[in-house]
Structure 1
C-alpha cells in the first residue's frame, strides 16, 4: 500500500516536472521569436557636425552608410526640387537638388528592423544656389602669379566659409592672377590678368582669362582664353552693362567686349585709364582721368567714345591726383583726391558738376587693385598702413573743406590687435546690407598664407571684430557683394 502511494507520488512529480520543462522551453522559444537585434545604422561618408551638407545643383551626391539588422531604410519627403533615393544594394543614398530648389532642407534617414525598431539620422542640407544672396561676401584671390591660379572665397550669410567656391561648384579653377568681378543680369564676370598663361610663358590649367558664371549657382556659362582675348595687355578691371557691352581695362585703356561675337573694340578717349575699379550706375560706366588734367570719364553704350567730365576749376583742395572713385548713394560719385600735400574726400555730381570737399589728415593707402576707400551712406572708410579711419561726410554747404579734419576718426590699428596683421592687402570693403567693414591682412608678402579676413561693426566696437576668418586668402584682390535684386 505504501509502495503504491510512493509510486503515484513519483509519477505525479515527474509529470509536474515534465510540464514545467515544456512550459519553460516554450517560453524560451517565444522569447527568441520576439527579440530582434537592435538596428544599426552609421554614415560612412564624412560630413561636418557644425555645417550643413552642401549640395552642388544638378549634381548627385552619394551618401554612403553601413547597416546591420535592418529590414528597410527610408527618407522623409523633401521640399520641391530635392530628391533622396535610397540604394540599399549599394548601401548609399543619392541626394540631388535642382538650381531652383529651396536653399535649405532637412533629410531624415530612418532604418527599421523586423520588429519595427527604428534608428534615425538627421542631416541639414543646403543647395549651393544662394550666391546671389545680398548678405553673402565674396573675396576674389589673385593667387600666386608663378605657382597657382586665382580662387573665389565665399562667406555665407550664416558665416560658413568656402575656401574656393568656384572650384567647389565647377571642379575647375579661375585664371592666373584674378583681378576683378562685375555683376550684371544674373551673371558674374570675372577677369584675370594672365588667364591660362602667365607673363613668362608658364602654362596653367584653368578656365581662362575671362569667365562668366551664373550669379546664383556660380556655374560656368562662358569662358574666354588668353588667345581669345589676345588684344588685351594685362587686364585688371571689368564692368558690364549687358552681354554686348562688357568693359575691360588693360595697360592701353578700356575695351568693349561683345561676348556674343568675342569682338573687342577700343573705347576712344580712355587712353591710359587708371588701374582702378569702375563705377557702374544709371546705365553708364565711369572711370577717371589720372594726372593734373583730371576728371571723370563717362562711357555710354550708345557709342565707343568716352566723354570727359572735368572737375570744377576752382576748389578749396586742389585735385592733382585721383586715388579712387565709387558710386554714392544718391547717384553722385565719391572721389578720393590728393593735391599739394592735402588729401580730400569729394562728392561730385556728374550732371551739375557740383562738388563738396572734406579734407582728411592722411593720404590713404591704395592697393594694387586700385581701391582707396569704401563707403556706406555718408560714412567713408580708408586706411593708412594697418590703421583704419572713418570720415562721417557732412554735406552742410556752410562748412568749409577743412571741417573734415575734425570729423575724421581713428578707429583701430589692426597690427596692435594681431601680430599677424603685418600688411593690409588691397583695400577695404563695406557690406551694403549690414554696413560691416571688411579688411584683408597678411603677415608679410613672404608669409602670405598667414592671413585674416576681418569684419568690423565699428558702431559697436573698434577693437573686437564681429567676425574673423583666418588663413583662407591667397593675395586677395578685394571684396565683392551681390547687388540687390
Structure 2
C-alpha cells in the first residue's frame, strides 16, 4: 500500500516537473523593435516646413506594434500613416516658428524607440533681428537669389526658391518693404542682358513679408517701358517707384500702369530714401540737389544744397535716412570728401570732411549709418566717422574724428575685394560686409558681421561661400 502511494507521489512529481518544463519551453522573448527615420535630416539644423504645405517624414519600422507622436503647439499637425510608414507634418502661417516633434515606436511588448525632430516653420522672415542678403547672380548664367540669416545665426541659403520652388529674376538689384509685403526688383527679369530666356518669376516680384510666398509677379513683358531697373521704393500699392536708365517711374500694381515721374531723367543708380510719406533721391554734378517725390503728383521737386558750404558738393556719392528725419549725404568736391547731414525743410547742412573717397558699389551704396556712426570703405579697409553735430566745429574736424577700423584683406586672403557696399543692422548695430576673392572667383566669398564696439579684428560672425554677387543687405522694419 505504502509502495503504491509513494509511486503515485513520484509520478505526480515527475508529471508536474515535466509540465513545468513544457510550459517554459513555449515562452518566447519578443524581438527588439527597430525604428529609423528614412527622410534625410541634418542633425544640427531644424527641419524647415513651408506654411500650409505638407512635409512627409518617412520611416522604416520592424517589430513595431504602434507609432505615436507628441502633442505639437497650436498651428502644427502631425498625421501618421502606419501602413505607408510616413508622417505628414504641416504648419499654418501663424504657427509658432519652432516646435519639437517626438516620434515614439512601441514594440510588440513594452519596449519603445523614440526619435526627436526639431521643426521650424518658414514664417519668420519678418523678424526684425534677421538679415537678408540679396544676390544678383551671374548676369549671363544665373538667376537672382535671396539668402537669409536668422537671429540665431543660421544661414538659410536660397530662401525664396525653397519657399516657392521657383527663382527670382536675373540680376536682382534692390528690395523695399511696405506693410506685409516685400518688393524685389531685378535688372533683367526673365530675359538676360544678351537676350537669353531664363526660367524665373520675372522682373518685379512681390512676396509676403512673413513667409516669402510669392503674391504677385511682373515679367519683362508686363513692364516693357523699363530699361535695366535697379532700385525701388514703395509708398503704397499705387505708388511703387522704380529707377531705371531713363529716370524714375511710378507703378500702380493694381493696374500695371507705369507713369514717368517728371524731372527725374538721369536719376542715379542709388538706393532711395523713404521717409515721412515721401521718396528721395538726388542729382549729382555742379547743380546737384535732392529730389523729393510726393504721392500727390508725378513730378519731382528739387531741394538745392546751400550755396555757401565749406566743402563743395560737386558729386553726391549716396544718401541715406538719418534717424531724426534728416538725410545723410556723402559728397565729393574739388578733391575733398565729406559727410553731410542735411535737413530738407530748413536746408540746414552740417559738414564733416573725411580722408578717403569711399567705394561706391554697383548697387550705389557708398556708406552705412547707425545713429551718428558712419561706416564706409576704401578698397577693403573699413572706416568709421563718429559724426559730431557741434556747430562750433568746422568741416575739417571730421579728419581727426575718422577711425581706421580694419583691413579685411589682412584678416583673410580670400577677401580680395568688397562687392557692393555695407549694411548696418538697425537693431544690433553690427556692420555687415560682403567680400569676394575676385570677379572670376566670386563663389569664394564671405559675409562678415562686426561689432566694432567690441572688436575690429575679430568678427562677431563669418559666413563663407553663400553669396552670388551680393546686391546688398536688407533688414525687416520694426512693426
- Aligned partners of 2:59 and 2:276: how far apart in 1? 54
Paired position in structure 1 for 2:154: 160
Query: How big is the shift at 1:11?
Result: 7.2
Paired position in structure 1 for 2:52: 58
Paired position in structure 2 for 1:147: 141
Paired position in structure 2 for 1:19: 16
Paired position in structure 1 for 2:113: 119
- Aligned partners of 1:13 and 1:413: how far apart in 2? 99
- Aligned partners of 2:24 and 2:443: how far apart in 1? 70
Paired position in structure 1 for 2:223: 229
Q: How does 1:179-198 map to 2 (within 5 A)?
A: 179-198=173-192
Q: 2:263 aligns with which of 269, 288, 295?
A: 269
- Aligned partners of 1:247 and 1:443: how far apart in 2? 34
Paired position in structure 2 for 1:442: 436
Q: 2:167 aligns with which of 173, 186, 193?
A: 173
Would you say how many aligned residue pairs link Structure 1 and Structure 2? 479
1:484 aligns with 2:478: yes
Q: How does 1:199-238 map to 2 (within 5 A)?
A: 199-238=193-232
1:102-123: CA deviations, max 9, x gaps? 1111111111123232221111
Query: How big is the shift at 1:372?
Result: 0.2
Paired position in structure 1 for 2:245: 251
TM-score under structure 2 length normalisation: 0.98
Paired position in structure 2 for 1:329: 323
Q: How does 1:35-46 map to 2 (within 5 A)?
A: 35-46=29-40
1:30-58: CA deviations, max 9, x gaps? x42xx422222110001111111110011
- Aligned partners of 1:175 and 1:120: how far apart in 2? 44
SS in 1 for 2:225: coil
Q: Which runs of 5+ in 2 are unaligned?
A: none
SS in 2 for 1:71: strand
1:387 aligns with 2:384: no
Query: How big is the shift at 1:305?
Result: 1.0
Query: How big is the shift at 1:25?
Result: 2.4
- Aligned partners of 1:349 and 1:28: how far apart in 2? 95
SS in 2 for 1:314: coil
1:101 aligns with 2:98: no
SS in 2 for 1:416: helix
Query: How big is the shift at 1:100?
Result: 1.2
Paired position in structure 1 for 2:288: 294
- Aligned partners of 1:264 and 1:15: how far apart in 2? 106
Query: How big is the shift at 1:447?
Result: 0.4
Query: How big is the shift at 1:394?
Result: 0.8
- Aligned partners of 2:428 and 2:239: how far apart in 1? 31
Query: How big is the shift at 1:163?
Result: 1.3
1:288-318: CA deviations, max 9, x gaps? 0111111110000011010010011111111
Query: How big is the shift at 1:71?
Result: 1.4
The answer as to whether partners of 2:140 and 2:193 remain within 8 angstroms in 1 is no
The answer as to whether partners of 2:54 and 2:89 remain within 8 angstroms in 1 is yes
Paired position in structure 2 for 1:451: 445
Paired position in structure 2 for 1:134: 128
1:432-460: CA deviations, max 9, x gaps? 01110000000000000000000011111
The answer as to whether partners of 2:174 and 2:185 remain within 8 angstroms in 1 is yes
1:197-223: CA deviations, max 9, x gaps? 012211100000000000110000000
Q: 1:469 aligns with which of 463, 469, 472?
A: 463
Paired position in structure 1 for 2:370: 376
Query: How big is the shift at 1:159?
Result: 1.1
- Aligned partners of 1:20 and 1:190: how far apart in 2? 85
1:221-262: CA deviations, max 9, x gaps? 000000111101100000000000000000011000000001
- Aligned partners of 1:218 and 1:13: how far apart in 2? 85
TM-score under structure 1 length normalisation: 0.96
SS in 1 for 2:64: coil
- Aligned partners of 2:253 and 2:143: how far apart in 1? 23
Query: How big is the shift at 1:15?
Result: 4.7
- Aligned partners of 1:201 and 1:80: how far apart in 2? 49
Query: How big is the shift at 1:8?
Result: 8.4
1:398 aligns with 2:395: no
- Aligned partners of 2:221 and 2:290: how far apart in 1? 32
SS in 1 for 2:303: strand
SS in 1 for 2:452: coil
